[in-house]
Structure 1
Amino acid sequence: MDSSKELIKATNLLLEISSLLMVSGANTIRVNLSINRFALGLNFKTSCFISHKSIVMTLYEEDSTQSCTRVKNIPPHAINFSIISAISKASWEAATENWTLEQISNEIKKITSQKKYSTLLVLVAVSLAGAGFCNIFRGDYLNMLVAFISTLVGLIVFQLTHRQNFNVYIRIFLGSLIASFIAGLGVVYHIGINPQTALATSILYLVPGVALINSFTDLLDNNIINGMVRFTTGFMTVLAMALGLFITMLIFQLN
């Protein structure tokens, strides 16, 4: 293969991998480390500018004047730690075993084609987690049932609005409002010993843990722009959650 064509093909592939990592919820340092390992296996050097919405990547050979620069927009994020872990593992193998471009491409295709959890399983698992949190905060079985149902319905609304391409903060607000409204009925009708625990835990499935943790790690690594963007995203998410809960408390006049 002509060296310039190989350089272009390698740049496009590494750009795709870095975008996939960002979409899946990797922090900036993880993206850079993984891409550098892949490039090392191909005997290239990389220079990347990674933002929350786009990636600018330059790939070059150290002993050559040839280089290739590409820009890619990052699609909406969909957290998937399995993909991050698999790509990280593949990057180590690519660096130590000097994988070819074709081997890397085939491995990435294999990773992206992995079977995902079914929607029903996700709904049940997240709802059980909500009920579990309610139990941790001393809710009884009735409170746990209310937390389970409110989380389940809220998450269904969140997923349906996602399919209708609603704004992400509108989706979070509606998910919080519906979940807290159902849990609020438990408080009004005094269902269980501590109905307020079901209300407090019904919206925990919306907590932006990944965004806030990544913002902290990015700031520590001096990726200031990404750190601030992710912190702002997390803050806006918490604000949308709080607004939904506040309206429910206003409707039922809860303290």
Structure 2
Amino acid sequence: MLVVIGDLVADLIVLGGAALERGTDNPAEVRLTRGGSAANVAAAAAPRHPSRFIGRVGDDPLGHALVGELAAAAVDVKVQRGGRTGSIVVLVDAVGERTMITDRGAAAELGSIDPGWLAGADWVHLPLYGFASTGSRRAVTDAAARAAADGARVSLDLSSVATLRELGGADLRRILAEICPDVVFANEEEARTASELDVAPEGVYVIKRGPEPVLVGVDGQTSAVPVDRVDDVLDSTGAGDAFAAGFIVAALGGAGPRESARAGSVLAMSALRRPGAL
């Protein structure tokens, strides 16, 4: 069982909304979709490996709808309820790059996780967003430690340059020391920011670079894994989460880091051709 702990929120995708004229109408294509990095990974992995999502949503119609949609994607959904379900406005430019306006809402208030929700976990995946607030950080850290003690592998996605900077180098090093991830994912800018903060993950370090080869570091040795180019990118939302799902599922099937990175890049390609996450 792949267990993913983190956010389930609503994404308001605005295609063509990256260049806005102030004070007047700005025509765009707008879609409301299920989002949240953790939910995205669970949904992308579910058709390929049993997957469970753990998080917190509001006890409101939006939260109930998002839980229902995620469950319909064959994910085993375990949620705490309270407060207001989070939402993210995603402004997508002409080449599919995103600018996000984030309100995590109830997701930032995740409390202590029921140990039973971790039953059967052979891999626990943690986006960095879950460490941004003190309460959810404790809950996520404790859950990861409990699962690892029972033999699960742990992965961490550095997720966001803004979150990296908000946490700072000292906190990031402390997080890595506490959860001891087997695999750390980052995109090129996140990896650069981590380096600037004097953060150097151990274990397997996977750096995604868009259309450029993925860099896979293992025991201090880095190799490049080629990826196929996608010329018709519509929206990059969720592509990194799809990559993580593909990598983890391949690794659970016995693939090595390079082969797993290749599997991740193939699944990420499908996310680039549609609005919103998989």
**TM-score when scaled to structure 2?**
0.24
Structure with higher Rg: it is 1
**TM-score when scaled to structure 1?**
0.26
Structure (1/2) with the larger strand percentage: 2
Structure (1/2) with the larger helix percentage: 1
